[in-house]
Each structure stands twice: as C-alpha cells, then as structure tokens.
Amino acid sequence: MSQALGGKRIADLAAFITTFDRAVWLAAIKSDVSEKAMPPVASGGKLFKDRQGDDNDPVITLVRYLEPWLAAGRPGEVFMMGGVAAAPSTQADYSFPAEVGATMSNLGNCIPRKDTVAASASGIMERLDSDFAGATTLPPRLSDTDLTTFNSEALAGTGVIAFVPTYPLWSDGSGKLRHIRVPKGKTVKFDKANQTFEIPPNTRFYKTFFKKVIDRAGQERNRKMETRLIVSRPDTVKEDGSAKNNALFGTYVWSDDETSATLANLPYRDGTLFADQVLTYITNEASYQEIVDSVGPGASGYASNLDAAFKKALAKNPSLQRHYAIPGRIRCEQCHMGSSTKDFILGFNPLQVARRVDHTGGTYEPTGEDELNQLQRLIDYGVISGMTSPADVVVLENSQGTRKPRTPAELTAQGYMIGNCAHCHNPRGLPSVTKPELTAVLDFIPRPDGGGIFQFPLDLMSPVRFRGANGDVPIPYITPSLHDYPVTTAALLRVDNGEDASPVANGASPVQLVSTWTPKFFSGGTCDSNEPDFIAIKELRGYCGDRKSGPSYIPAPWRSLIYRNVDAPFPYIDDFVPFPHMPMNSPGFDCRAPRIMGEWMVGLPAIRKNPNARTTPEHAFSVPRSTHDDGSSENYAQPYAEVGPADTRYESALNSAKDRLREYRGGVRYSYCEESLSPDIYDPVIPDGGSVYRPDPERYLTESLGASVVDPRRNDRFLPRLGIPYHSHWFNYDPTDPPDPWVPRRPDWRAIVVEGKPDSSVPQGRPLNSQDTVSRKLLADALVEASLTKELETFSTTEFPFAAWVNKPECQGKLARFRAQTADFRKGSNLPAWMEKLSPDEVIFTDSPGAYLFRQVCINCHGPKADGKGLQAEALASASEGDARPANFIAGLFGPPKNPGSNYINTFGPDPIEGKQNAARYMAWMTLGGTLKNIPQDIINLVNSAQIFGQRRKDLSLVGGNEKTTGNMLQIAKGLCSTILPSPAEHSFFFQDHQEALGKSSPVEYYPPFNHERSPLIASTGDKQLWIELCSRFSPAIVRVYEVTPAFIGLSQMFYAAGDKLQGHADFPQGADVLDHNQKIQTGVDAAANFYPACVKRSQTPEEAALLELHPLRRDLRMPSCPDAFLANGTMMWQRRNPTDSQLDNVRRWILRGAISAGMAVFSYFDDPNRMPLKPQYNQCELLK
C-alpha cells in the first residue's frame, strides 16, 4: 500500500499481516468523515456510505475480503475465503497448553536440569550460531531463530535459558519473558575487579512482551504482543570518539492468533526500516465474542453491523480495546547506546542477574521463589564463567565504595534508576552525547569511582536547565522541599518580567493560551474556603483533597529536575523549562516513578536554610524579587541543606524528614495515577455527549487547555490544573527526511525569497492576524534586499576573539599554540573592555562567528552534528506529536555527504552563484518564521537565554523583536539588533530610556544606548562586539541624528548614510566628522568600522547653541554637528515627529536585515563541510587534539 494517498504506507506482505487492523486501517477505509476516509476524498475517493449498493466497487470488494480475514486473526501466507487457511510450514510451536500455562512464571514453565542444557544433538545450535555470526540482518520470522517454543525444557536443550532482572524496565505494565542464548562453547565472563560481564559476540537476547487479557472462557491469560531480539556485538569507536553500534536488533510482531511472529519492518520517512508501530488488541475476548454473536455471523450486512456494534460497545467500555506501542529502530538506539557492557545489551549485568529477596537491595518488584538462585543456576549451566559463587557480586548497597545509601528510599531510587534511567544517564548515553556538559554530572550506573546516586549532593544543579524568563534560576536535581520556587507576586504577576501568570479561564481556546508557569496551588482560596460557587469548590477539592484547613498547595518536590522529569506523563514546559517524559521512549506512565523519587529526596535528613521563611505558596511566599532578601521568602534554588549523622541536628533533621514524608504522602499528587482516566497509551477525552474517558489516537489534550477535568475517582472534584499533562500520549516518532533527491520543506520558497511576495501560508496552531501579514511582508522585502556578500562570508568564517580559555593542568601544552594568536589580538587598537581585563597569561578562545551562532542557537534543536538530533528535538517532537522535526543540515540543505552543497545548488540554482544566494536567503527565512510548524515559545526562550561563556543575557523581557507567530529561532537576533539601533518602532526600553536620560541633561551614562547596564549584550565576552558588527556592518549604514533644543533633547532622526540615488538623495559627506560607537570622532561613515555613526543638528539660535555646548552630547562626547546639506538632501529612515508607517517599517526591516545576516553567517559556516565537527568549547581544553 502506497504512502502517496493519505500518508500511510505498508511496504510488503509481512508488514501487512502485522499492521493492518480493524481500529485504524479498516476504520479509515470505512469512514464516513471526509477528513479521514481512505482513499482520500480530495484525491478521488468517496465516503464509505456513498459506495454502498455497488457490488462492483473495488473498495466494497476489498472490505468483503478483509472482514473475514481480520475475524480469523489475520492469518499469514494463505487465507482461504470460506475455508481454512493453510498454516505456513514451520517447526515452531508457540502454543500454551494447559500444563504449560498453569506453571508459567518469569522464568518460563519449569527450571531445566543442568544435564539438559545445550544437550541437543540435532545440530541446530551450531547452524544457528553460524547463521547469526555471519548475519547482517535478522531472519524474517521468529521461527527461524533460537526461540521456537515457550516450553522451557525444550528451549534448554538448545541452550536457550530464561532469566529475569532484579531491577526491570517498566514498559506500559507489560509482562515479559526473557531468554539468553550464548553461542555454543562460549560463556559470559565475569570481571570481578570491575563487577562487569564480557558478553560473547553474537549472543542472542530475546524478550517477549505480554498483555493481560480475558479469554473467551472468561479466564485471564497473557497475550503475546512482540518478541524483541538483540544479537550482541561489541561497539567500536568512530573517528569522532563516539560509539558505533554493531549489534543486530529488531522485534517480531505476533499474529492475531499468536501462532507466528514476523519481523517488524514498517518504513520511516526516509525509507529505512523498523519504524514505530502501534497495535490494537481486545482486552476481553469473551465480551467481544458476545458482540460477534449478537450480530450473527453470515447475516446480511454482517461486517458493517459488527463494526457498528463494536463502536457502540467501545463507547460504553473504552477499555475493551487497547493500544500497544512498539518503539522503532531510532528509539531503540537512543536507549541502548548507553549499554554498560558496550554491546547494546541492557538488563544483563551482575547486579541484574543476582536476584534479591523481596523488599531488600532496593528492589521494587516481587521476586519469585524460583528466581532467588538464578545466578547460581546460570553458573551451573555454563552460561556465566569466572565466578565462584553469587557472593562474588557486590550488592547494590556496597556498589559505590565508601558512599552508602543515606536512607532505604535512596537505595530503592538507585535500584529503579538501574533498570529505567542508567542506560541513558551515563557517559555513553544519549544525554551525555547530546550535551557533553552532563557527562561528569549524571552517571547513574553504580560504581566506586563516582557513578550512582548514593550521597547525591543537594546543591548539585543542572548545567543545562535553568528556570525563569531570563534563564537565570538554577534547578537542583533533587530537593527535600515540598514547595515550588517563588515565581509570582500575590497578583500572579511574574517577578522577573511582569507577565500575567494567572490560570487560563475555563473554555479558553488553545490558541489564546500563552502560559509560562502554572501555580501548584489553588489561587482562589484556602482549603477551609466555603465558596458558594460549586465549580470553585470542585476546583478547590482537586488541590486540597480531603484536607479542610490550611493553604491549598499540593506538596511535592516541584523544584527538583529529576522529580519533575519522572512526574511527567507527557513532555511539558513550565517556567520556561521543558520537562521530558521519563523513562524516555516508554509508552504509558509508571505511576511508581514519581513516588519512588519523591520519597527518596523528601525523606533525606536536611534542614531549611532559612527556617524563618514562610513556605505557604499562596501569596505569602510569592513576593516581588526586590523583597526576596528580606527573609520572608524561600527564594533559594535549593532551600535545604543536608545534615549528616555526626551533626547534633541529625535526629531533628530525621524527624523533619518524617514530617515532610507524611505531608507528601497526604497530598493529592502522591496518589494520582493516570490509569484512573484510562489505562491506554493514548490521551483520553470525553466525547461530546459521553460520560467516560476514552483514548483518542488523533487528539492530545494538554492539561491546562479547555475545561477542567473531572476526577473519575471522585466526581465531586476536578483534577488540579498544574500545567502537567494528565495522561501519557504515544506518538510515532520519525525524525528522518524523505529519501533523495532532497527537497526544501517550503516548496513555495521562490515566491518569498526571490520574488519578495508576502508569505500567506497559515502556520500550524493559529491563524494569521493583520500584524502577522505586515511582518511577513517586511521579512520578504528584507530577504530580497539581503545578499550573502563576500565580506559577510569572510567575516562569518574568520576566527573571532570571544573569551579566555579555561585553563586546566592537563592543557598547558595544548593551549601553547594559541599564545601567538592571543598576542596578535592584543596588539590592535580599541581593544574591547573584556580583553583589556585579561591577565597576561590568559589565552584567548576564538571561533568563527558562524560556528558561534550555530553553537548558541541552532545546536539546541539541530544537535552538535547538525543532524537534527539536538537536546530540544524531543521536546519539539512532543509538542507537535511528532510532526515537527529539526532539519538534518548535513544530509539535507548542505548534502549529500558524498557531494556536499549539490543539494542546494540543484534546488536553488542551477547556477552555483544564484543557488548559493537563494539557499542562504532560504535558511535565514526558515529561522525567522518560514517554518509553519508549531515551535513553543518556551523552546525559543531557552535558545534566547542560553549561557554565553558561562553568563546569561540580562532582562530578556526588555528585548524587542519578540513577535510570537511561528517558529522564529532567530528571535534573539532580532531583539539584539533592535537594542543596537535602538528601535523606536515598538517603544523599546532602550530607546525610551536613552531619550529620557538625554532629556535630563545629566552626564550621559550609557552611550551608545546598547551600553546600558541592562543591555542583553554580554560585554565581558566577544558576544557584544560580534552582534554590534553583525547587526550594523552588513545592513544599510544608519546615521543617528540628535537634537538639543529647548523644545526637545534626544534622538530625533535616522538617515541612511548612502542616499537613494534614484531620488537624487545625497550620501553622508566623506569629509564630515561623525561620532562612532567607541565615542571617538571619525571622518566619514565607514560601515566596516563605525557601527553607531552619530551627529547632532546645528543650533539655529544663540540660545540653542548655548544649550548644546552645555549638554553632555557636546560637552562630554564632543559629538560633531551634522552637515546641513545631508539633513536637507539625505534619505531619511525615520523621524521622531509623526513618523509614518513606512518609516517604522524601515526600522523593522533594518532589524530583520541584521537577523538575516546572522542566518547567513551560519549558512557560510556550513557551506564548508570541513568545518565540522565543532571545536571544543572554551571550557573543554582537555578535548583539544
């Protein structure tokens, strides 16, 4: 089935058997809704009702075949209409006879005797070992592997042994049966000194997933869903130092009748195989059979009647059918790349196979009687060698050397992390590879040299996540605090930028919502409120539960990053921080995770740093920042300090911890579990006219939008609106691009970037308004005016001084080669202030402006390798249910890798020069709103507030250019250029403050105005100089004209230094003096050296002349007078008195030109493929080669 119509595709017969189902595929074929019907109505299809009565209609004929095939359980190979399908030829038998099923446990149906293990003389073991050793792909059927039955005794004969990990991964509550098959004659070798395993290459690991269902006899049974297979092979190291996976892996999808399983091979967008897949299954086969019987098989209209009856039953009982997600290849790689054994294997290491007694050693799932001696059996079977007894395995409590668990809850948290978190959070895992700053911070794999969480410090803050509008509030990984950080005033106005943070009103439209933070308390009253409004009472009860007194806050460790991440059924953003769903890539939501992590950190012995601070979250502790230091507020990022056993306050700290735990457990968040709404993996909604929640694959309802949600456990209360999604929601993740030839994501690019037509396409998630239309027209004009000149290209790719290297003992020799370059930079005149302050022995860190901009802006989503795999890519995908994906620059616009640059020349050319210009404009356009995907403003804010050489931009709320239309990833560039001009268009702070300061005739403290103490430009690094040049040097040079008269003092006009020749306008005279951005007098306007040309109007009267000579502009800055002829005949950009709309547009267009130059600078950096990968950062000298 082709993807050309409707966006769905089934590649081949095997995929058809495992993919085509009644709920998704057949429902679309039989749909009477024009937006869902397949084939699409827009492409010539019809509604199914319109096909009725035509027996020759091909779709009717297709349904006539599909209905009985589905009813028969989707048999493979051959299906006989009206008869019995012939089963495929196989020696496998996956049935569960009564005697097998009755004795089934986590280890199968029996414990094999030692003498039966690998005793088969059939030669099958040797053949499969040989096949897998030479394999480059997995077999198409599970029956072609080692796993041909679930009879444990039969499997043991061919060396297939069941095992169960001590600390298992949670997967939507699925049951699992795991097997290992070591190649004959090989063993898993135990390294006692390092407490690790060395797994032989081509060892096979099988994991079969089951879901509980009720069979036709009314008995509970395990339904087989998928069997995953990994053929382990050691990782190798790539040239860039990253790990290369060599293992084979995939999953086999079970047929509806569970007699066979076929390798999943749905394609990604780029045509590669093993994409995410969703299955549907019936949870109660007895109930479903009643529906079938009620319709009457064989009766006229049976198929349509059955479909209608099934829909009716689902409306009453949505749990009759559930969805099951199979993560695809990309998700598998994301999780398994952090394998502790460096071979793609997770869950098989000494700590995992050494089973523990229930409720000991940090276990969180029960241990069966037959599992306790599992490790000894594996030794006896010859699966594991190098171990004299299970006692050789260091238990979890002692796994971290002198660091011991402070509490039992810390031990349990560590156990949970082994199974669910450590495979990512270690030096080889995805977060560390994506953000190297995390490598030395988060290593959850227990080991004596620092790995693990025992004695995890309370003052350890995330190096990559910061709260607040300015991104300047650190976030601790753990905290004992039960209160959120104080964000607002009593009136729910943010203390950092003054924005309204009030909860959205009931029934608000999603497009109206711009929420930056949601209170974790009810703003309408306290728990003892006797509000007559029934709705308000239901809201209040949602926060207070049964508590009838005290403040209405919900106690939980809200300040903790770890807690927030595991208490996220679906990714969300709060206080400008994205909180991902953890464990990553796991469908559903493990309600135990936030409780396990919460109990760990809340129960730590600790005391408040400020015991006198008020902690009630309602208005009492939400105070303006100006009073944060008066002792009334817990305004510390981490308000608690740890107390050790030797401290005299230890007993008191333990008692306080008990009190906090009691409070935490009594809160409504502690007991919340999404399954009260629906056990499905899709977000549930209440359909119009319905009364129960049902999963909806096509609709995700963010928690804070729309009307309040009734708590299904208590219909007298709503679920509290905390800004956190109520429920998980699976979406198929496909970050790939279509196969070559590459095409731009906006096929209408020529009309905008070449012809200058306004972009009229509607962005996702909101309609265009009049302001959008004007802004888009201005952007199109600016793009056509802009050009990637040789000067801009050279500037973008030439080393630029930015900061001082952070010197480390191991870097002395590595930094020596930069000392001559540093000396050259220091020889120049007009050194920036930051460089003048360097000590003589400091070495300057340089980078090209293009690389700097990529690192500061683009890397967040596009990743350090520019392949679309940045830290925010997952948040972006989640916000759009997988629809928005960052571009892969290397393979796309600047690809293909084997012939770099040919993609953009072929697309935007064919002339190479023309192609390069258009491609540079296209890239700038896409970063300034050309993308139509919904990019949350919070993600853009993260980009804006990113650290610049260890510092952050100040007061981002004062920065102009903050239009919130579509994905504007260079919003910060617009804001900085607006500051540099400064922009009078939107009455920006820096323009207004400059005018007011000049009007007071007091000494000019900040000149030019971008030198203001609250400027977002970072003067202590090269950031400030870079943006001054980037915004000014490659845009039309602007002469600022000041005026000092009794009637007005300030900036009164702006002129283009180069006049409009078509209008006969004059240039600024080259022999005339003008003030520059360094407050020095220059002759003429040199756009490459003077980035703030300014002069003052000549006085017209003696009174004005006297006033001018006394004003700081002339007295202190010695600002020259403007040439009269230039003011009379020059081309005016803007004037203070009654500026026209056209003049204000001139201002906006100049700002856009600077932002476009930033986009073109990044383009220039990528245009040479030899510039990748990025050089080590200023604080990573140890990585220099």
pLDDT at 2 > cutoff 50? no
Is 1137 exposed, middle or buried (CB count within 10 Å of its CB: 0-12, 13-18, 19+)?
A: exposed
pLDDT, tens only, 474-503: 999 999 999 999 888 777 778 887 777 765
Q: What is the pLDDT of residues 632-672, one digit of tens each?
A: 467 789 999 999 999 999 999 999 999 999 999 999 999 99
pLDDT at 761: 84
* DSSP-H helix ranges across 143-229: 152-157
pLDDT digits (tens, 9 = 90+) for 1000-1026: 887 788 999 999 999 999 999 999 999
- Angle, helix 285-295 to helix 302-316, in steps of 10 degrees: 140
pLDDT at res. 9: 64
Mean pLDDT to the nearest integer, 341-354 = 97
**What is the spatial distance between Cα 302 and Cα 295, in angstroms, rounded to a whole number?**
7
Terminal-residue alpha carbon distance, the chain: 51
Query: 179: closest CA among 157, 200, 152, 202?
Result: 152
Which of 373-382, 394-403, 823-832, 958-967 shows the lowest mean pLDDT across its residues? 958-967
Q: Is the pLDDT of residue 629 over 60?
A: no
Residue type, 311: K
User: pLDDT above 70 covers what percent of the chain?
Assistant: 89
What's the rounded mean pLDDT across residues 452-461? 98
pLDDT tens for 1087-1118 read 999 999 999 999 999 999 999 999 999 999 99
Name the pLDDT band for 12 (thresholds 50, 70, 90). Answer: low
Q: Which of 215-229, 335-349, 679-693, 828-842 has the lowest mean pLDDT?
A: 679-693
Asked whether residue 700 carries a pLDDT value surpassing 70, the answer given is no
10 Å Cβ neighbour count for 812?
A: 10
- What's the whole-number mean pLDDT along residues 796-822? 91
Higher pLDDT, 697 or 203: 203
Q: Under 8 Å CB-to-CB from 96, ≥6 apart: which residues?
A: 104, 150, 221, 222
Per residue in 320-342, pLDDT (tens digit) is 999 999 999 999 999 999 999 99
pLDDT score of 161 more than 70? yes
Domain ranges of the chain: 1-88, 98-211+224-256+327-357, 457-676, 982-1139
* Helix, coil or strand: residue 825: helix
pLDDT at 621: 38
pLDDT band with cut points at 50, 70 and 90 for residue 533 = low
pLDDT digits (tens, 9 = 90+) for 544-584: 998 888 888 999 999 999 999 999 999 888 998 989 999 99
Q: Report, in angstroms and rounded to the nearest whole number, the Rg of the chain calculated over CA atoms.
A: 33
pLDDT exceeds cutoff 80 at 67: no
> In the predicted model, what is the mean pLDDT of residues 141-151?
97
| pLDDT value for 514 | 47
Q: How many CA atoms lie within 13 A of 939 on its CB side?
A: 30
> Of 62-66, 427-431, 519-523, which has the strongest mean pLDDT?
427-431
Position 6 scores a pLDDT of 54
Q: How many CB atoms lie within 10 A of CB 440?
A: 11
986 or 466: which leads in pLDDT: 466
Question: How does residue 508 score in pLDDT terms, banded at 50, 70 and 90?
Answer: very low
Token pair 């239901």 is found at 538
pLDDT tens per residue across span 256-312: 999 999 999 999 999 999 999 999 999 999 999 999 989 877 777 888 899 999 999
CA dihedral sign of residues 1097, 1101, 1104, 1105: positive
Please give the full DSSP string across 633-646, using - where no structure is assigned.
B--SSS-EEE--TT
Confidence category of residue 383, pLDDT binned at 50, 70, 90: very high
* Cβ neighbours of residue 1143 closer than 8 Å, sequence gap 6 or more: 1132, 1133, 1134, 1135
Mean pLDDT of 1074-1091: 95
Q: What is the pLDDT of residues 966-981, one digit of tens each?
A: 567 888 999 999 999 9
What is the pLDDT, as a whole number, of residue 102? 67
Task: Mark 1085-1108 as b/e (b = at least 16 C-beta within 10 Å).
Answer: bbbeebbbbbbbbebeeeebeebb
pLDDT recorded at residue 1115? 95
Token pair recorded at residue 1124: 């009269």
Q: If you average pLDDT over every residue of the chain, what do you get?
A: 87
pLDDT score, position 689: 54
Give per-residue pLDDT as tens, 584-626.
999 999 999 999 999 999 999 999 998 877 655 443 333 333 3
Q: Tens digits of per-residue pLDDT, 734-770?
A: 999 898 899 999 999 999 999 999 888 877 656 677 7
pTM above 0.85, yes or no: no
**In which band, very low, low, confident or very high, does the pLDDT at 688 lie, cut at 50, 70 and 90?**
low
The reported pLDDT for the residue numbered 861 is 87
- Mean pLDDT computed over 918-946: 85
Reported as a single tens digit per residue, the pLDDT across 950-960 is: 888 888 878 86
